């Protein structure tokens, strides 16, 4: 009989474990969504703060479109994440409501059984006292068995009472949790309505500006193409400098100067290894800021048929912001290119980081720098009040997406 019951017991245990695992997974997912929602809310606060600082400045239409497009994407993501949270909460609420219904039925049955047991015990006590029950035994063995039965029956009554108490407490806690979840859901829905109104307002401003731009789209497209050509020119100059640095390191190591990667000393190998070990955990190159232009190929925010290519990121920050080294290393070069603001290039073994658009430089070539050390001040454009740091990360000449390396970028 035990062997026959074993598979059923095993299935029951597995079901319990799976339900616990699902509940744990859902709880983790809720935490992830809440973390992401708070990140997006902070991002919106950053945008609002930076806008407030720049509101007295006359901005170009292209600059405004970029701002509107970025905020629209953040608001849109916030709405999606909040909806996901509300849906998860809704599933949890439904699950808890089912648990409460089942628990109420179980509790009702337990109370009925306990009441019947008490009545039976009372009647039994009236009809036959325990002593008479024991004395009427035919022999000592039967008397012992009857005594054990009385004890077991009393224990069972006590256990039933404890179970009722425990189930009552569990029901109360589930009810409290359900009320809390319902309040959280209401709050999320209310916040989403506010976000939706904000999104509609931003889209309205974006569309009004786009109407103005569409009237002379060719002019704006030409401006974007010119900016792209200028950015490509600067990138080519930076690549030349990196290539020269690679050639110099290989020459000193007695290796081929045509290599596309740095020749490393034992110390530089350790540095590069530590740099890789911190992938995804590197600090931002500014104290406060938001990514206003992302890495890679993407359609222009003004003309969707025009593809722009970014080999790094642009970070909009506040006036007077300091540029910070994202990892320890050595200042490989202070870069000065015609019609461009100064830049700092730092080498981290086989990796290089470049900090573009600086107004002041606080380091010199050959300096050893520490993590988060101030290396310069970011340039603020007097025309539109914008303070934007360009940041590039590469392994030798191969560009990497900074978002894969910088913490929560």
- Residue 263 contacts by C-beta under 8 Å, 6 or more apart in sequence? 249, 250, 252, 253, 255
What digits encode the pLDDT tens for the residues 307-351? 889 999 999 999 999 999 999 999 999 999 998 999 999 999 999
Backbone angles phi, psi at 278, to 5 degrees: -100, 15
> Which three-class secondary structure state does DSSP give residue 198?
helix
- Looking at the fold, whether 187 and 115 belong to one and the same domain comes out as yes
Ramachandran sector of residue 372 (left: φ over 0; alpha: ψ -120 to 50; beta: rest): left
Task: Using the 3D structure, point to which of 153, 185, 214 is the last residue of a domain.
Answer: 214
Out of 73-82, 97-106, 126-135, which region has the weakest mean confidence (pLDDT)?
Answer: 126-135
For residues 304 and 287, what is the distance between their CA atoms, to the nearest angstrom? Answer: 32
- Report angle CA 41, 45, 51 to the nearest 5 degrees: 145
Q: What is the pLDDT of residue 3?
A: 45
Cross-sheet strand order for the sheet of 374-378? 322-324, 374-378, 358-361
Q: Is 314 exposed, middle or buried (0-12, 13-18, 19+ CB in 10 A)?
A: buried
Backbone angles phi, psi at 365, to 5 degrees: -60, 135
- Looking at the fold, whether 196 and 239 belong to one and the same domain comes out as no
What is the enclosing helix (H) or strand (E) of 393? strand 387-395
How many CB atoms are located within 10 Å of the residue 81 CB?
A: 22
More confident residue, 63 or 74: 74
What pTM was computed for the model?
0.66
Q: How confident is the model at residue 268 (pLDDT cuts 50, 70, 90)?
A: very high
**Residue 8 maps to a domain:** no
Beta strands in 35-105 (DSSP E): none
**Residue 2 maps to a domain:** no
* CATH code: domain of residue 312: 2.70.70.10
- Looking at the fold, whether 133 and 277 belong to one and the same domain comes out as no
Please, which residues bridge with residue 333 across strands?
345
**Residue 75 maps to a domain:** yes
Token reading at 305: 């048929």
CB 325 within 8 Å of CB 369 = yes
- Looking at the fold, whether 23 and 161 belong to one and the same domain comes out as yes
- Looking at the fold, whether 28 and 168 belong to one and the same domain comes out as yes
**Residue 309 maps to a domain:** yes
Please, which residues bridge with residue 307 across strands?
299
For residues 329 and 346, what is the distance between their CA atoms, to the nearest angstrom? Answer: 6
**Residue 5 maps to a domain:** no
Q: Is 384 exposed, middle or buried (0-12, 13-18, 19+ CB in 10 A)?
A: middle
- Looking at the fold, whether 249 and 351 belong to one and the same domain comes out as yes
SS3 content of the chain, % helix, strand, coil (to 5): 60, 15, 20
- Looking at the fold, whether 327 and 180 belong to one and the same domain comes out as no
Q: How confident is the model at residue 111 (pLDDT cuts 50, 70, 90)?
A: confident
Q: How confident is the model at residue 392 (pLDDT cuts 50, 70, 90)?
A: very high
Q: How confident is the model at residue 395 (pLDDT cuts 50, 70, 90)?
A: very high
What is the extent of the structural domain holding 193? 14-214
For residues 174 and 376, what is the distance between their CA atoms, to the nearest angstrom? Answer: 56
* CATH code: domain of residue 173: 1.10.287
Ramachandran sector of residue 139 (left: φ over 0; alpha: ψ -120 to 50; beta: rest): beta
Task: Using the 3D structure, point to which of 214, 243, 274 is the last residue of a domain.
Answer: 214
More confident residue, 149 or 233: 233
Q: Is 170 exposed, middle or buried (0-12, 13-18, 19+ CB in 10 A)?
A: middle
Considering its fold, how many domains does the chain have in total? 2
For residues 193 and 395, what is the distance between their CA atoms, to the nearest angstrom? Answer: 45
* Closest to 301 measured CA to CA, from 134, 61, 87: 61
For residues 100 and 179, what is the distance between their CA atoms, to the nearest angstrom? Answer: 12
Q: How confident is the model at residue 154 (pLDDT cuts 50, 70, 90)?
A: low
Count, residues in the chain? 409
**Residue 9 maps to a domain:** no
- Looking at the fold, whether 163 and 135 belong to one and the same domain comes out as yes
- Looking at the fold, whether 199 and 293 belong to one and the same domain comes out as no
More confident residue, 377 or 299: 377
For residues 82 and 190, what is the distance between their CA atoms, to the nearest angstrom? Answer: 10
* Closest to 267 measured CA to CA, from 348, 326, 366, 371: 348
CB 305 within 8 Å of CB 299 = yes
For residues 240 and 373, what is the distance between their CA atoms, to the nearest angstrom? Answer: 26
Mean pLDDT of the chain, nearest integer: 83
Backbone angles phi, psi at 315, to 5 degrees: -120, 115
Q: How far apart are the first and last CA of the chain?
A: 61
- Looking at the fold, whether 233 and 210 belong to one and the same domain comes out as no
**Residue 219 maps to a domain:** no
- Report angle CA 272, 273, 279 to the nearest 5 degrees: 90
Q: What is the pLDDT of residue 62?
A: 76
For residues 301 and 314, what is the distance between their CA atoms, to the nearest angstrom? Answer: 15
- Looking at the fold, whether 121 and 252 belong to one and the same domain comes out as no
**Residue 299 maps to a domain:** yes
For residues 150 and 161, what is the distance between their CA atoms, to the nearest angstrom? Answer: 17
Task: Using the 3D structure, point to which of 165, 183, 214 is the last residue of a domain.
Answer: 214
- Looking at the fold, whether 68 and 107 belong to one and the same domain comes out as yes
């Amino acid at each position: 009989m035990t062997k026959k019951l074993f598979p059923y017991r095993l299935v029951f245990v597995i079901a319990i474990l799976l339900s616990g695992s699902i509940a744990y997974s859902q709880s983790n997912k809720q935490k992830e969504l809440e973390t992401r929602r708070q990140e997006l809310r902070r991002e919106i606060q950053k945008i609002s703060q930076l806008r407030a600082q720049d509101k007295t400045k006359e901005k170009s239409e292209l600059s405004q479109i970029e701002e509107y497009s970025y905020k629209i994407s953040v608001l849109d993501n916030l709405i999606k994440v909040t909806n996901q949270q509300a849906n998860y909460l809704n599933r949890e609420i439904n699950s808890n409501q089912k648990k409460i219904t089942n628990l109420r039925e179980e509790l009702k049955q337990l109370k009925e059984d306990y009441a019947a047991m008490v009545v039976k015990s009372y009647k039994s006590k009236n009809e036959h006292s325990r002593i008479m029950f024991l004395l009427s035994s035919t022999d000592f063995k039967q008397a012992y068995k009857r005594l054990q039965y009385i004890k077991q029956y009393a224990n069972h009554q006590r256990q039933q009472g404890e179970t009722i108490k425990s189930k009552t407490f569990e029901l109360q806690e589930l009810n409290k949790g359900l009320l809390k979840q319902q309040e959280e859901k209401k709050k999320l829905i209310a916040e989403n309505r506010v976000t939706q109104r904000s999104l509609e307002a931003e889209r309205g401003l974006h569309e009004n500006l786009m109407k103005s731009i569409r009237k002379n789209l060719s002019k704006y497209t030409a401006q974007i193409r010119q900016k792209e050509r200028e950015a490509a020119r600067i990138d080519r100059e930076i690549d030349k400098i990196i290539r020269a640095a690679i050639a110099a390191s290989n020459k000193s190591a007695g290796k081929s100067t045509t290599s596309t990667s740095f020749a490393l000393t034992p110390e530089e190998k350790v540095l590069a290894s530590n740099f890789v070990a911190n992938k995804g955990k590197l600090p931002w190159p500014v104290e406060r800021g938001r990514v206003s232009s992302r890495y890679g190929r993407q359609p222009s925010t003004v003309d969707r048929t025009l593809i722009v290519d970014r080999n790094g990121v642009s970070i909009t920050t506040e006036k007077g912001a300091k540029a910070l080294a994202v990892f320890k290393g050595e200042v490989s070069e202070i870069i000065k290119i015609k019609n461009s603001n100064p830049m700092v290039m730092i080498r981290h073994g086989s990796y290089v980081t470049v900090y573009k658009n600086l107004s002041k430089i606080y380091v010199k070539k050959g300096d050893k720098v520490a993590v988060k050390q101030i290396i310069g001040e970011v340039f603020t454009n007097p025309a539109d009040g914008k303070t934007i740091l360009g940041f590039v990360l590469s392994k030798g000449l191969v560009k990497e997406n900074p978002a894969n390396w910088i913490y929560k970028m």
